[in-house]
Structure 1
Amino acid sequence: MHSVLIAYIIGFFNAFFRIFKKSAVYRIFDKVYSAISSSWKNSVIMQKIKACGQHDVQKQSVLYKIVHLPFLVLENISEKAGDFFSSAYENSVILKNLYAFLDNALSLNTKFYALMLVGIALSRQLFAFSFSAKMSVLLLLGIAILFTDYNVTDFFEESKTVKFLLALIGFSDISFDIYDKTNLKKRSALFFAFVVGIVSGILLKKSYIFAIIPFFAIVLAALVLKYPISGIFFSAFSAPFVPTMLLAALVLYTEFCFCFYTVRTKDFKWKIDSIGTGLGFFLIFMFISSIFSFSAKKSILVWGLYLIFIGYYFTITNAVKTKKQLYSIIRLFVI
């Protein structure tokens, strides 16, 4: 019914447009548009914009140098201290434990999640000071699963049904080889799973939403820190339904992680195109306007949001390397 109605509407507008194109009004509008368009294309402003589009000319412009200044600082840090940051990153005990937690979570390891369930059940029983049948069942379930050691993600990798369902939504070539198997045997990850379970059990008193926050916050933080592009995917997927400030926090964290990635990658060079230069100029103009506005404090806060979201353009254009990645991000945003 809906498809028939839409077809009728489209047919009506197509017929109307064909009739309208033959009218004198359309010819007048077309001539006016052509005259304005021709004047605009040949204007001094457009000539300057076209000149800025040329890479060599753009690099020589004062505007480009001003916009590129923060990125130049990051490039200098990368050049002079890239090896130091890279070594510190690779040898960090905290990050190793964090990534071990991440890999166990991504592998959907049964022992890992069983310890989390045990932690939740025990903390609810101990801190609630009352017997709970649900928590007792959860505790027994966790103990039972604790004796298994299976990675559910491996099942997804081998399942034809899962691959078929992913193909239906355009992700036919996705791989579930997303974790480091050497991290699955680390006791630190299992210990932290138990600790996170205890914290979640305490927060469960408030609501189920609060209870799952610690786990997902750690996983998201670790994943974006390890793979900054994953933050772009998460933000594209969550943009339509996540509150603005929460989305801004995710975007800002992704930007930080990517900047940290560039700093520890020796001789990393930022790509700044004419669009980026224009956006940078817009931010500068907005900042000056905010300072001299009637409510400078609020205006600067609003400008801060502009800075976060517009700055994301530079992160995306430098983090996304292939058309495949770009199309996947667009697909996630549309879905």
Structure 2
Amino acid sequence: MTGGPHAEGCDVVVVGEYYWDLIFTGLPEVPRLGADLFARGFGMLPGASFTTAMALHRLGLRTVWAADFGTDLFSRLALEAAQAEGLDDRLFRRLDHPLERVSASFSFAHDRGFVSYAVRDDLPPAPEVLDAVAPRALLLQSFRLEPELLALARAARQRGILVCLDCQHVAHRIDTPGVAELFREVDVFLPNESEAIGFTGEATAEAALERLATMVPTVLVKRGAAGAIGLSRGRRCSVAAPAVAVVDTTGAGDSFNAGFLYGRLRGCDFRDSVALAVACGTLATTGHGGSTLPDEDGLLAMVRHEAAASS
């Protein structure tokens, strides 16, 4: 993989780890101690930031994924999947020791849970790589209060690059030292409903959205089957999720991020970008993990169908 004909620049840099996902669906109940459960469905594929990078790539955006890989089985499988997908590997770091990342997901139609293991988190790339790959947008999939992440976000803002930040169930809160400093370098914040409520301490997603929007210009709160709500520079929107037969919700939020960036970078207005995000996340739930991510035609067809149905 060499990045293809657009090696001189790209649309999006995605920063974040992969996890090798073992996804169990059709369980009779939520796993508990003492219970021996058998799933009716199973999927095994790379997830987390791999899902977002793959979704962006399938939507036709020139995407560079920054991630670390080791000598272990899961790293090798993830690298093989990235190569098969044709992902740009310029910011892959191949380490000479194992770097296992594996996650078992117990997934239901309304939500999912994980049991995960990771040797360590990836360090984000140095700010200088932004000059080498020249992205229009930087998507930080991991929300960590570390100087390397702050330096990368700050360098992107200084270069006029759109900076987006996911949440990923962080342990800190909105008033944790360092959060306000990081948020000053962020253009778009993308938590899900439980993350937004837990992070802010507010009672509802709407109240969390209002509070977060005082710190970040654009905030979207993912609400699963309820769609999403957003607030961008005083403009509010709410988008319902299309009705589909849900197989697995693993990776839906990662796919949502890709759909929003697709809309934003294609020049869509705020509401249309949120609608694209919701549609992309919804389509991801129709299979295990990222196995049913849409291409550009598939995503636009769903959005057009929903618009016609609501008119």
Is TM more than 0.5 here? no
The structure whose RCO (Cα within 8 Å, separation 6+) is larger is 1
TM-score computed with the length of structure 1 as normaliser: 0.22
TM-score computed with the length of structure 2 as normaliser: 0.23
Q: Structure 1 or 2: larger helix share?
A: 1
Q: Between Structure 1 and Structure 2, whose CA radius of gyration is higher?
A: 1
Q: Structure 1 or 2: larger strand share?
A: 2
